A and B are shown apart, each in its own frame.
Chain A
Amino acid sequence: MSVSRTVFLVDDDHLHTEMLKEHLDSKLNVNITTFSTGEDCLANLDKNPTVIILDFHLNSEKKEAMNGLQVLQKIKQLKPETEVIMFSGQDQIQVAIDTMRNGAFDYVIKGESAFLRAENVIMNIFKGMRLKEDLKLYKKASMILGIGIVVIIALAIILYIAGPGQDSNVGWM
């Protein structure tokens, strides 16, 4: 059974947010929370989102609102394990480079294919996480197995060494 993970959507474009939320809801087993400002998202980081989809421009409603790059930097400072996907209508290479340099997992340009692309990027993140978790379990199991084998060998050696002496003792009795 797969575990439901938390995804934050941060965007002041309400139509886009609603469409993306419904698309992800229908395709993935995730709990989605939406925020229209980066400040609101940062105030809720204690809910430990696995993935945050963050719009680059967040000041169409509140002029003084932090921009996506500032929010990304803050997220990476406070919760470095949270993966961030940067969303924007901005098809400028420099913006993409800046976001990736600051720790974003990927950069998605808003448009017709954006919803499908976001879904695929999230699935890749989850796949990577599952692999890491499996590897951790495998390492743990290997360690336990290794210890078990060492204990069995040690017991066998002890029994082998101690065995004949005990037998002879029993014989004398």
Chain B
Amino acid sequence: MSEKVSDLGYLTTFSNGDKARMGKYINMFLNHAPGQIEDMKRHLENENWEQLKIVAHSLKPQMTYMGIQSLVNVIRDIEEYSGNKRDLEKLPQLIVQVDTTIKKAFEELKAFV
């Protein structure tokens, strides 16, 4: 069995273990984040660095709330590289990493709700 990529520890503490509240937050994330990942891919394809930075910036705190710690630094790098227009050649690989990991996280979170 592969290792989990999400951890609901933070959300559990924040919600005092209230499963209904946790479910509400997770559903909000599941409804919104897939669109943001698609936006990231589109902005990368169109080399729209400013918009890519904005989407990465918006996704960053959500990784913390959903306990997807392995992506916190990756998304921070995407934000920094696209914002400063440097190391742009690294962006495709980083976005693939986000896409792969977050899809796994979606499955784990769906199982909770």
Contacts and interface: CB of A to CB of B under 8 A. Distances in A.
Given A15-B25, A18-B25, A63-B51, A57 B32 contact: no
B57 A89 contact: yes
A56 B61 CA distance: 14
B62 A15 contact: yes
Contact size range, A: 20 to 34
B65 A19 contact: yes
B103 to A, nearest CB: 18
Contact of A60 (B10, B21, B29, B54): B54
B61 A110 contact: yes
Interface string B4-20: 00000010001000000
B104 interface: no
Of the four ranges (under 10, 10 to 19, 20 to 34, 35 or more), the interface on chain B belongs to 10 to 19
A23 B16 CA distance: 11
Interface in A1-22: 12-16, 18-19, 22
A111 B10 CA distance: 11
Given A13-B61, A15-B28, A23 B14 contact: yes
Interface of B: 10, 14, 21, 24-25, 28-29, 32, 51, 54-55, 57-58, 60-62, 64-65
Given A15-B29, A22-B21, A90-B57, 15 more contacts: A13-B61, A13-B62, A16-B65, A18-B24, A18-B28, A19-B25, A19-B65, A59-B54, A60-B55, A60-B57, A89-B57, A89-B60, A89-B61, A111-B61, A112-B64
Closest 7 CB pairs of A and B: A110-B61, A60-B58, A15-B28, A89-B60, A60-B54, A89-B61, A89-B57
Interface of A: 12-16, 18-19, 22-23, 57, 59-60, 63, 89-90, 110-112, 114-115
